[in-house]
Amino acid sequence: MLDAVGFIGRFAIIAGFVATSAAALAFFLSLRREGLLPLARVGFHLTTTSIFVASAALLTLIITHQFQFHYVWAYSARDLPFGLLMSTFYAGQEGSFLLWTFMVAVIGIVLMAYSQKHNNEREVMGMYTTILGFLMLLLVVKNPFAPIDSPTIPLDGKGLNPLLQNFWMQIHPPILFLGFAAMTPPFALGMAALMQKKYQDWVTGSLPWVVGGAMVLGLGIALGGFWAYETLGWGGWWGWDPVENSSLIPWIVSVALVHTMLTQKRTKGLVMTNFLLASLSFVLVLYSAFLTRSGVLGDASVHSF
């Protein structure tokens, strides 16, 4: 029965990738053929549904200790408290990508309704769904539902890394990844404005998204810093861990973007600067996620786990 849950989760990811690819194509084609817009919306909602199903499937496998799945075996164990057990959902690379994708999908539901009111749905959601499709492709490659390479099912898992067995593990990563996801709408809105050649109007509609994203990302970084201070005892000074800094840089860029957008609203200047900063904040989020989850800084970072 629970093996079927894993199959459903894997199928949901593949189906979601197909749906989001079709939706992105339909959104862009609807710029010339408006009749494709309802199809694009259906594709996006099917993608969102598939992500919800995959997330629920992985969480079910973790809670029920299904160690025949490699991800569950590698990061969870029977003796973990319930809160930490649930946090193993995003303890590894595959699960954290799924969490990120889940949050991008949830934000996308709000963004779709928002863009419909501002008459830029096709451009905004075309870009946004393309990004969502890229994240879905990562999940297709990095399968969180892969079985273990063993003829026997282990009685217990390897468990959560001791450094992660902390109260803040249940709070810091979700907020940080929500901040990462919240950097996507400003980029999509900026690219849509370039396509529509609305170089001034986009600032007013995008500013709340930029402010909200900067606030959430800043909160995630602050909680991570407090966690590191509490666990590693950095004596109150910034430890200059490269992974910590990689998430700080897009936050600094997003704060700069808030100020330059306010300047553009008042003076009509800094037009290209704002497009550049909106793009840069998103690109730096991708770079930060790569540094955090790729393992390339395993010898230089306390995030080597």
User: Which CA distances in Å does 119 have to 29, 116, 193, 204, 205?
Assistant: 16, 5, 11, 14, 11
Cα angle for residues 87, 156, 297 (degrees, 5° grid): 50
Which amino acid, 35? G
Nearest to 66 by CA among 37, 57, 44: 57
pLDDT by 10s per residue, the chain, length 305: 567 899 999 999 999 999 999 999 999 999 999 899 999 999 999 999 999 999 999 999 999 999 999 999 999 999 999 999 999 999 988 999 999 999 999 999 999 999 999 999 999 999 999 999 999 999 999 999 999 988 888 899 999 988 788 888 999 999 999 999 999 999 999 999 999 999 998 999 999 999 999 999 999 988 887 887 777 665 544 555 666 777 888 999 999 999 999 999 999 999 999 999 999 999 999 888 777 666 655 555 555 55
The structure's pTM equals 0.92
DSSP string, the chain: -HHHHHHHHHHHHHHHHHHHHHHHHHHHHTTT-GGGHHHHHHHHHHHHHHHHHHHHHHHHHHHTT-TTBHHHHHH--TTS-HHHHHHGGGSSHHHHHHHHHHHHHHHHHHHHHHHHHTT-HHHHHHHHHHHHHHHHHHHHHS-TTPBPSSSS--SS-----GGG-SGGGGTHHHHHHHHHHHTHHHHHHHHHHHHHT-TTHHHHHHHHHHHHHHHHHHHHHHHHHHHHHHHH--TTS----HHHHHHHHHHHHHHHHHHHHHHHHHHS--HHHHHHHHHHHHHHHHHHHHHHHH-TTTTT-TT--
**Token pair belonging to 146:** 């892969």
pLDDT score for 229: 75
Transcribe 93-157 into DSSP letters.
Answer: HHHHHHHHHHHHHHHHHHHHHHHHHTT-HHHHHHHHHHHHHHHHHHHHHS-TTPBPSSSS--SS-
Residue entry with tokens 């099912």: 153
In the block, residue with structure tokens 């606030």: 215
Q: Which amino acid is at 172?
A: H
